[in-house]
């Protein structure tokens, strides 16, 4: 199966338009803060959400709207999370209603998202005033929408791919935001995907629920899980492929293309972590189970000591073993091998649970790169997994020390 990256983001698949504007939720007029994605037709839809007990009102409304497995539009604001507000549900529902008032779309077929400060009142007024401009500007503007959902993100996160199901050319596109409060369980921050594949909503939900376990659930920036984590996908069927209603070759091909997009976005999110200077990948092999591999990889990535060592380009491999030791999995510490690597080379630092001699000068050269890989071989089985994170820098504290004010 050939997967080819294409341009266009969420507008790459057939039948989608998008836009993003500044409406006034955010004070900075140079920052877009209001996004809209619309499918030409009602689409199969699926979603996964935060498991945090404190949930943003948009999560509650979106879950209700997607209960029948269909949607046609996605609306989202940045600058305010609409979380822990007494009128939060009302505001989220009004955002959906505004889409319905502009076009022939049911308010119940709208996915709604918000991101930003928690516990701050969100006024509907700036969005209501900007809604007509947002709607009238719909077009091939995936980048505008991607910019409008950013908070402290420093780069726009977007991807689109083309692949074949039989003789039919199909596409998946996506945009994402996420740099802080990233330690997901079921999704991460805000991810919006579109596709023109003809697939039942049951199979779409199955594909997405399976996918996040190896993509978005395997990233961590700071160990804090967001209240608004939402990952949703629309599939409008306009590619015209034979409908996917069961697991099989076409379903597997769709899942592979989906995972290409989600893993790419996961790496973008991890690399753009608040204050981060490096993307860190931890690949665990030789595990007794897939669960073991995933837990160990996530634990290493989440370790503040490992993250700090990577920031300082310090090959302090003992911190990796320390993290593995408290991961809670059945691992034989006496069999573990660890390597650090980057484009500058591979550095073995641990064999059989014990340190090996290495050059500190070479180690520094390898770890000064902006993408670092930590390879852990548990030598106890046939399972492997990857997790992604970033280094812990002074700027992370600075950003979050005055995030609200």
- Report the catalytic residues: 188
Contact 183, 224 (CB under 8 A): yes
The label of the residue with tokens 């029948």 reads: 68
Contact 69, 44 (CB under 8 A): yes
End-to-end CA distance of the chain: 50
Contact 324, 330 (CB under 8 A): no
Query: Nearest 5°: phi and psi at 239?
Result: -65, -30
Residues 205 and 70: their CA atoms lie apart, in Å, by: 11
Residue 171, SS3?
A: strand
In sequence order, what are the residues at sequence separation of 6 or more whose Cβ sits closer than 8 angstroms to the Cβ of residue 405? none
Closest CA to 131 of 105, 153, 155: 105
Residues 281 and 390: their CA atoms lie apart, in Å, by: 8
Tokens in use for 173? 């596109």
Q: How many CB atoms lie within 10 A of CB 5?
A: 12
């Amino acid at each position: 199966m050939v997967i080819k990256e294409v341009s266009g983001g969420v507008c790459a698949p057939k039948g989608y338009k998008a836009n993003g504007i500044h409406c006034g939720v955010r004070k900075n007029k140079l920052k877009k803060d209001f996004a809209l994605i619309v499918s030409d037709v009602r689409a199969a839809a699926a979603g996964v959400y935060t498991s945090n007990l404190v949930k943003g009102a948009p999560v509650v409304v979106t879950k209700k709207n997607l209960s029948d497995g269909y949607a046609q539009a996605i609306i989202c604001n940045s600058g305010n999370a609409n979380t822990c507000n007494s009128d939060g549900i009302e505001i989220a529902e009004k955002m959906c209603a505004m889409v319905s008032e502009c076009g022939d779309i049911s308010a119940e077929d709208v996915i709604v998202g918000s991101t930003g400060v928690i516990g701050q009142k969100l006024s509907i007024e700036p969005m209501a005033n900007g809604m007509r401009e947002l709607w009238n500007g719909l077009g091939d503007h995936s980048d505008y929408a991607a910019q409008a959902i950013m908070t402290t993100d420093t780069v726009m996160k977007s991807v689109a791919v083309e692949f074949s199901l039989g003789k039919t050319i199909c596409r998946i596109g996506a945009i994402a935001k996420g740099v802080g409060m990233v330690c997901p369980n079921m999704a991460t921050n805000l991810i919006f995907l579109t596709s023109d594949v003809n697939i039942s909503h049951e199979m779409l939900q199955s594909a997405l629920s399976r996918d996040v376990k190896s993509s978005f659930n395997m990233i961590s920036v700071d160990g804090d899980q967001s209240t608004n984590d939402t990952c949703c996908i629309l599939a409008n069927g306009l590619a015209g492929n034979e409908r996917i209603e069961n697991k099989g070759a076409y379903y597997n091909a769709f899942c592979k293309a989906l995972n290409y997009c989600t893993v790419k976005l996961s790496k973008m999110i991890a690399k753009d972590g608040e204050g981060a200077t490096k993307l860190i990948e931890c690949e665990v092999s030789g595990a007794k189970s897939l669960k073991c591999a995933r837990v160990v990889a996530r634990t290493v990535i989440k370790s503040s000591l490992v993250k700090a060592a990577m920031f300082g380009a310090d090959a302090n491999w003992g911190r990796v073993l320390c993290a593995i030791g408290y991961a809670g999995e059945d691992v034989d510490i006496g069999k573990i091998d660890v390597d650090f690597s980057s484009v500058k080379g591979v550095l073995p630092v641990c064999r059989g649970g014990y340190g090996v001699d290495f050059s500190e000068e070479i180690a520094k050269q390898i770890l000064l790169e902006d993408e670092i890989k930590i390879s852990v071989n548990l030598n106890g089985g046939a399972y492997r997994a990857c997790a992604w994170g970033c280094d812990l820098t002074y700027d992370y504290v600075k950003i979050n020390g005055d995030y609200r004010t």
